[in-house]
Amino acid sequence: MQAVTSKFKIKLVLEGLKERQTVKELAQKFGITPQQIGTWKRLFQKEADTVFSKRGKTKKIR
């Protein structure tokens, strides 16, 4: 089992959102419960809007 870092959680969530494998398959592959992956997915989706919120100076997109 890998260390449960933020990067690890993001990797699993993104793999789950791609739907190439079931959550159950991902859980078995990475040694995590399907319920835990589901929790991380829900949290990721709930908080996704904060990724692009203003923090500090706004940069112009060219």
pLDDT tens for residues 4-52? 899 999 999 999 999 999 999 999 999 999 999 999 999 999 998 888 8
> Does 60 fall in a domain?
no
Q: Is residue 29 part of a domain?
A: yes
Residue 56 lies in a domain: no
Residue 54 is assigned to a structural domain of this protein: no
> Could you give the CA distance from residue 27 to residue 35 in angstroms, rounded to a whole number?
9
What is the span of the domain harbouring residue 30?
6-49
pLDDT above 90 covers a percentage of the chain that reads: 61
Please report whether residue 62 resides in a domain: no
Please answer whether residues 37 and 26 qualify as being in contact, where contact means their C-beta atoms are separated by less than 8 angstroms. yes
pTM of the model: 0.72
pLDDT at 51: 80
Domain-embedded: residue 61: no
Residue 34 maps to a domain? yes
Phi-psi region of 22 (alpha: psi -120 to 50; beta: other; left: phi over 0): beta
How many domains does the chain divide into?
Answer: 1
Return the exposure string of 3-28: e unless at least 16 CB atoms fall within 10 Å of the residue's CB, then b: eeeeeebeebbebbeeeeeebeebbe
